[in-house]
Structure 1
Amino acid sequence: MGKALIITEKPSVARDITKALGGFEEKKKGDYFESDEFVCTYAVGHILTLFAPEDIKPQYKRWRLADLPIIPEEFQTKPVPKQESRLKVISRLINRKDVDTLINACDAAREGELIFREIVKHVGSEKPIRRLWLQSMTKQAILTGFKNLEDGLKYNGLAAAAECRANADWLIGMNATRALTVRLKSRNQRGVSWSAGRVQTPTLALLVKRELEVLDHVPVAYWKVTAKFQAGNEYDSTWFDPDFDRKNATRDQKEDRIFEKEKAEKIVAAVTGQEGLAREIRKPSPKKAPPLFDLTSLQRAANTRFGWSATRTLRAAQRCYETHKVLTYPRTSSKHLPNDYREEVDKVLKIFSDDQNYGPHAQTLLDKGLLNDDKIFDDAKVTDHFAIIPTGELKNDLEGDDGKLYDLVSRQFMAAFYPPAIYEDVERITEVKGYSFRSKPPKVLKEPGWEAVFGKKAGGPEESFPPLVEGQDKSDNVKVNNLNSESEEFATKPPSRISEAGLLSLMENAGRQVEDAELAEALNSAEGLGTAATRADIIENLKNREYVDAKLRPTPKGIRLIDVLDRIHASRLTSAKLTAELELFLNDVEKGVRTGDGFMSEIANYAEDVVVATRDFDWDEIYKDEDPVGKCPKCQKDVFEKAWFYGCTESTKRVGKKNCDFLVWKDNNGRYINRQVVRDLLEKGETGELDGFKNASGKEYKGILTIENGTVTRKTTSDAIPGPDETFEVNPEPIAPCPNAMDEGCLVVETPHDFVCKHKAEAKEGEESTGCGFKFPRMLCKREIKREEVEAYLKDGETPVMAGFVSKRGRKFAAKLVMEKGGDSFRFEFPPRASKKKKEDEEATQSEESQSSEAKTADDKTSKPSKKKVKKSEASES
């Protein structure tokens, strides 16, 4: 009798399955496990990737509009770099003569199906497939799953939908990126791509839309009227309009804002010194216990509490899962646990009850029982993975990011089973001469409930706002006296920029941005834009591609991309609606209502539409309907918006002699110059103070734009605004021995700022370390040095060639770092210059660019070397 080969998505799942089934021996250092009945091995996520265009045809190595759209007759795969050996192991096991059945034990969802099927397809196997569908990893769940293995044919629709989704993303992203890069990059931007994609671009559009709202905001004056009343005790109150129409109000309109100064003064005059009647309600306000964490909610919480990026949170969670074994699998979109996990929860709580940090809270739950379990244990709401919870492994010695994250998840885990926290909510309304005033003090915590797990205690500022009538929670028609009133002027503020926590929420709930109910439902069922496992990478890609800065503020490049896509009527690419439509179609493929070939035919047509829209637009045409923003200070002609700048009708002439050279560049030292700023500049000769300029070190500063002798100049009004110190998450595991190791304990470890010798890291301030003193920066020439790059440096004496360094003059370069003097220093080693043929190829690619004279003018202006000597003060702004 033959054996069945079990293929899992992750090594940890392979270990859990072999342990549950029993009888396995580890073979070849963990390459696979084998028993009398089964062979078990694992992938490491996706170990195959689709062919790049140049893999299909060598001519596609050159990015030319004439070759687009690229639509392969067949989508082929190749191993992901560094995964060739894993693929060979799996391939060899699949082809074993004694293996007659394949068991798909990858995650129970579309992506897990794809990982397994693409391996089987790449290997070319036609052996029968059985499907293991698990939502819980308890021993009993695994044994039950193997008793109920299903025919793989049942999941062919899911597999087809998964393959179509991957192929569709390739078609859209690759064709859009190549077309946009050829059209948008300027001649001095060699090697720069304008990446676009189904998820990345709508995510960027969310940020750009908010940024333009911020930049276009014009402050409007408004007034607030405040009054001090006396009723035994004094209290403050603010006027409000009880008939305020919230439904039809603008963002700036609020119930307590008055936009006419005279009206505010009238209210002050009417109520000052007058008697009034007050009423009050004090009522309990429960705040229910939080749910367990999925990855996205954990990333939001860590961003809010610690200021961490989504990537930083994911890395810490991954270490807590893989290295320390203290948390369950983190890349999950579920906040629930399977019904059979109650015993696991009790087991963790019993372990926690003996811990000095968590003991009191865990013991309370064991003594009083778990609440909210009907909302937490729910098989129907468990996806391919369940919520992130502690495993029961106690490690109080965890430090840095790992320790903080473990503590956060552990406390959330216990808090989820606690009763609600009870606050006291107070609202007091005072009526004087027909005008209404409201007092709403901060809520007072009466019963900590779940908040106790996070250290909160009952109490609060209640003594500063005693009851209107002593001993009563509700009172009415209490006479009060107005002691004084005043009006104060304010100005409306722009909406706040989107934080990383806010962006994660917007991506997860992208269905709310789609008006069509059917499409919104499809998007909601698909977890919104991206998945819990991919959102961190999407955000990091936006940063790495310089569409946004570290604070998620869109750059001029990011704003230009979205602006152009909207103007050429390719806004479908900037909207979550595209993902919603794809999800609807993929659901049809999964159900067998639509064929995979039919779906891909539609996607190929859409990719062609994007290429045509990008290839055929005329730069002048897409801005032709814009109203002028003002008059040119030099020639008094109208100034219009163009792609790279604002210029007058004389300075933007396509042919003939130009009688004026006035231009306002949209990118001014990293700060996008929007239409409202240009209007102010042309009307008043200068702008107000603007933020967002960046110096050569990437630090922000504020400045004012002025017009002097017909030329726009920038005056700095603040020193570089210091951001938070550049610190990085710390993986406490040693990396490798020091290059000059003086003893066995001389290892290189991470600190928030450097890679250093462990002895040096542990030395107290003022003490001399006993180690070799090795130290290597984590940030070099504005580029973060990754752990794996330092591993290569320590192992081989050099890193691979790394792109993304920035010189003192702001120029990007690539280089490898080569160790010198036994590790005491290093040098940059630059790759060889491009060959003459390669240069000719690049020039041929550039000749395909179809840009208007405006773009060429922009290139000429920026690429000509300046003969001006730069002073130090000016260099700091460049």
Structure 2
Amino acid sequence: MQLVIAEKPSVAQSIAKILGATSRKDGYIEGNNYIVSWCVGHLVELAAADSYNEKYAKWRYEDLPILPALWQYQVSASTKKQFTVLKKLLNDNQVDTVICATDAGREGELIFRLVYEKAGCNKPVKRLWISSLEDTAIQKGFKNLKDGKEYENLYQAALCRAKADWIVGINATRLFSVLYGQTLNIGRVMSPTLAMICERDVAISEFKPEPFYTLHLTCNDFSLVGEKLKSKAQAKEVLQACDGQSVTIESVEQKEKTEKPPKLYDLTTLQREANKLLGFTAEQTLQYAQSLYEKKYITYPRTDSRFLTEDIESTIPALAKATAGFFVPKAAELPVNTAQVIDSSKVSDHHAIIPTMNIKGLDMQGLPAGERETLLLLAIRLLVAVGDTHRFSETVITAKCGESVFTAKGKTVIQDGFKAVQKLYKGEQEKEDKDQALPSIAQGDVLTAKAEIKEGKTSPPKPFTDDTLLSSMENANKAEVDTERKGIGTPATRAGILEKLIKSGLAERKGDKKVKYFTATHKGTALITVLPEQVQSPLMTAEWEEKLKLVEYGELTADAFLLEIVDMTSALVKTYEVIKGADTLFPSDRESMGKCPRCGGDITENKKGFCCSDKCCNFAIWKENRFFTAKKKTVTKAIVAELLKNGKVSLTGCYSEKTGKTYDCIAVLDDTGGQFVNFIMEFGAKKK
């Protein structure tokens, strides 16, 4: 009996159908000598900090850094039932082989391996590695199962990434949260991304527009433009010298140029285009693409490649014809230059995202709007990528009037090529070409010009959208990192990073319904202000991403990578000093009861008591303070405020443990600066 473990129930059902397993059980499908079951996301994950020691349940500076010597794992409470099913199946004596059929990528490998190891299984593993959930792709995949051992390095890279994020996230988040008195989420990729947003915000806020002036000469049916001038007076001088004067054509250069079709989509370029054209967030696009994949309409979306492999080259003409049916009635007339999209050397785990043959005859209107628009983007890109080259003639005219030089550019399309197909999709229609159509003109011609000044202003940098921020993440420190694999995060994780920034209150999206842009919140800006360079540096994070790839390729050990993360984190905890004036960067949102008698900080309320907002100060009046509870008195805001203001407070109806009677007294704050705050009693009235 062979046990197949997929990543999701829907995928398991598709596989079971192909394998002939039809008997539904609780948590799996059985039949034809196969058992097909599934995970539900990350069934097993790295254990929480307090699993190593109960004291880690509290966030305390003196406990840092937290560095597990032996990593522990836990089963998610919400998925415990399905893990129990898988554990029983993995250890069933009837099962002799396990087939890993989770998503064919780093995270899919991690999901399966953690379940396999947590269940204590040591049976042989085969790997199903496919880029599509089409029936033919699944059948082919099962005929060519790989040895699970071939993916050991992929698993180590995935586990290494998870451990690195745990170490940085747990320690840095606790360190800065404790030191600055509020929850401050730090992440290995999230913090450098936030730093880029903050840097852009500063560039925009500090930008000062500068005016510039250009002189335009109208000659017959076309216009010539001069260079930009910073001085209006200078522009007026040129205007006086040229208006109504002769213009001599110095040169007429004509060149035929070409523009190659754009490449196919990887996940990041798909997310960028969907944001730019449709206003989708990166996370929305990923969700739509994942759903389309599970419905078998597109290939695996979490890819970083923009090419296809040679083994599917023969299928592309038929696929292009089926795809074209969405746009043009005479699909056979469209060119299909398959060789343009084939390059196996530029495909790592998965090829570019393309539609599958299952779209043939598909009623697009039956799909949810987001999925429909995403599929249309992928369809038109396939047709464009295999289309003909766009050819045009470019003419550049240089003219002189007085001492000033002017130019004009013109463009004439010779062959629309792929752009003819591109225009079939409403969202990708070409913007009107800025280049004018120029009349027939020759060197030495003399014309009369009418001159005018046009004033403009320099523009500030544009705030990040999902489109441009994904691009910056993908190309972070491109010049500094000498490799083709650059950037921070991966195609599969970047969307989640952007959403986490927003959920953590460090950034927000603003703007109208379609065009939304990122800006850092006050909290996010303050955090970047106090974070040291190594935590917020895109360069360091890009280098870490590169090293994770080396782990995946077996060129670097996981231990070597993690040692670097541990060293950096340990040094951060030991050497970081609180920034002076941080109280203005991180103002407390809690009501102040008064000033701390020890350091002058604000005393605020939490669940257990009234504590100094300065985490380095130990002053606290606990709600369960024995001095008050013995007298059956509740420590209220009013009592604390009076104690802080006058050093004492009158109490009435105090209970006597000895006599069982009540009395009135004055509680006096008797703080000596020790671990606990003490009180003494004074009596201004007789006992009752």
Change in 2 beyond 3 A, CA 1:99/1:845:
farther
Change in 2 beyond 3 A, CA 1:426/1:19:
farther
1:428 aligns with 2:417: no
1:479 aligns with 2:446: yes
1:506 aligns with 2:274: no
The structure 2 residue matched to 1:69, chosen from 65, 69, 76, is 65
- Does structure 2 conserve the Cα–Cα contact (< 8 Å) formed by 1:304 and 1:501? yes
- AA at the equivalent of 1:201: S
What corresponds to 1:408 in structure 2?
A: 377
The structure 1 residue matched to 2:342, chosen from 366, 377, 383, is 377
Q: If the length of structure 1 is used for normalisation, what is the TM-score?
A: 0.61
**Within 5 Å, which residues of 2 pair with 1:333-732?**
333-342=304-313, 344-349=315-320, 351-352=322-323, 355=325, 357-360=326-329, 362-365=331-334, 368=335, 370-371=336-337, 373-391=338-356, 392-393=358-359, 394-398=362-366, 400-440=369-409, 443=411, 445-455=413-423, 465-469=436-440, 475-484=442-451, 486-512=452-478, 515-517=480-482, 521=483, 524-525=484-485, 528-550=487-509, 551-565=517-531, 570-587=532-549, 589-590=551-552, 594-614=556-576, 616-619=577-580, 643=585
SS in 1 for 2:519: coil
- Does structure 1 conserve the Cα–Cα contact (< 8 Å) formed by 2:307 and 2:347? yes
- Does structure 2 conserve the Cα–Cα contact (< 8 Å) formed by 1:18 and 1:24? yes
Q: For residue 201 of structure 1, report the CA deviation from its aligned partner.
A: 0.9
- AA at the equivalent of 2:107: E
What corresponds to 1:839 in structure 2?
A: 607
Moved more, 8-17 or 162-171: 8-17
- AA at the equivalent of 2:578: F
Change in 2 beyond 3 A, CA 1:425/1:557:
farther
**What is the CA–CA distance in structure 2 between the aligned matches of 1:387 and 1:448, rounded to whole Å?**
25
**What is the CA–CA distance in structure 1 between the aligned matches of 2:422 and 2:286, rounded to whole Å?**
22
**What is the CA–CA distance in structure 2 between the aligned matches of 1:461 and 1:96, rounded to whole Å?**
66
Per-residue CA distance 1:387-442 (angstroms, 9 max, x = gap) = 3333333123235333322322222222222213334434322122332112235x
The structure 2 residue matched to 1:260, chosen from 231, 254, 260, is 231
Moved more, 79-88 or 163-172: 79-88
Q: For residue 208 of structure 1, report the CA deviation from its aligned partner.
A: 1.0
- Does structure 1 conserve the Cα–Cα contact (< 8 Å) formed by 2:246 and 2:446? yes
Per-residue CA distance 1:126-184 (angstroms, 9 max, x = gap) = 22334444456676765665565554444433322321221011100111111112223
What corresponds to 1:201 in structure 2?
A: 191
Change in 2 beyond 3 A, CA 1:352/1:306:
closer
SS in 2 for 1:280: strand
Q: For residue 461 of structure 1, report the CA deviation from its aligned partner.
A: 8.1
1:292 aligns with 2:264: yes
1:4 aligns with 2:2: yes
- Does structure 2 conserve the Cα–Cα contact (< 8 Å) formed by 1:136 and 1:385? no
**What is the CA–CA distance in structure 2 between the aligned matches of 1:163 and 1:415, rounded to whole Å?**
39
What corresponds to 1:215 in structure 2?
A: 205
Q: How many residues align?
A: 590
Change in 2 beyond 3 A, CA 1:296/1:850:
farther
Higher relative contact order, structure no. (Cα contacts within 8 Å, ≥ 6 residues apart) = 2
Q: For residue 298 of structure 1, report the CA deviation from its aligned partner.
A: 1.6
Change in 2 beyond 3 A, CA 1:511/1:145:
farther
Change in 2 beyond 3 A, CA 1:459/1:144:
closer
The structure 1 residue matched to 2:124, chosen from 123, 128, 131, is 128
Per-residue CA distance 1:589-618 (angstroms, 9 max, x = gap) = 45666543443333222112222344x334
Change in 2 beyond 3 A, CA 1:599/1:839:
same
- AA at the equivalent of 1:24: A
1:78 aligns with 2:45: no
Q: For residue 574 of structure 1, report the CA deviation from its aligned partner.
A: 1.0
Per-residue CA distance 1:320-355 (angstroms, 9 max, x = gap) = 344x553334333333333333455444445456x5
- AA at the equivalent of 1:235: F
Q: Which of these two proteins has the greater Rg computed from alpha carbons?
A: 2
Moved more, 381-390 or 214-223: 381-390
**What is the CA–CA distance in structure 2 between the aligned matches of 1:462 and 1:572, rounded to whole Å?**
45
SS in 2 for 1:269: helix
The structure 2 residue matched to 1:172, chosen from 168, 174, 179, is 168
Per-residue CA distance 1:76-131 (angstroms, 9 max, x = gap) = 22233532233222211111112233333334443333222211221122223344
Per-residue CA distance 1:674-710 (angstroms, 9 max, x = gap) = xxxxxxxxxxxxxxxxxxxxxxxxxxxxxxxxxxxxx
**What is the CA–CA distance in structure 2 between the aligned matches of 1:66 and 1:60, rounded to whole Å?**
10
Moved more, 333-342 or 603-612: 333-342
**What is the CA–CA distance in structure 2 between the aligned matches of 1:224 and 1:385, rounded to whole Å?**
50
Q: For residue 848 of structure 1, report the CA deviation from its aligned partner.
A: 2.7
**What is the CA–CA distance in structure 1 between the aligned matches of 2:143 and 2:318, rounded to whole Å?**
26
Change in 2 beyond 3 A, CA 1:90/1:220:
same
Q: For residue 214 of structure 1, report the CA deviation from its aligned partner.
A: 0.7
- Does structure 2 conserve the Cα–Cα contact (< 8 Å) formed by 1:335 and 1:387? yes
- AA at the equivalent of 1:480: L
**What is the CA–CA distance in structure 1 between the aligned matches of 2:40 and 2:349, rounded to whole Å?**
16
SS in 2 for 1:557: helix
RMSD: 3.6
Ranges in structure 1 where 5+ consecutive residues have no aligned partner: 186-191, 241-256, 623-640, 646-653, 659-835, 852-863, 865-878
SS in 1 for 2:85: helix
**What is the CA–CA distance in structure 2 between the aligned matches of 1:220 and 1:490, rounded to whole Å?**
8
The structure 1 residue matched to 2:225, chosen from 238, 262, 269, is 238
- Does structure 2 conserve the Cα–Cα contact (< 8 Å) formed by 1:352 and 1:359? no
What corresponds to 1:667 in structure 2?
A: none
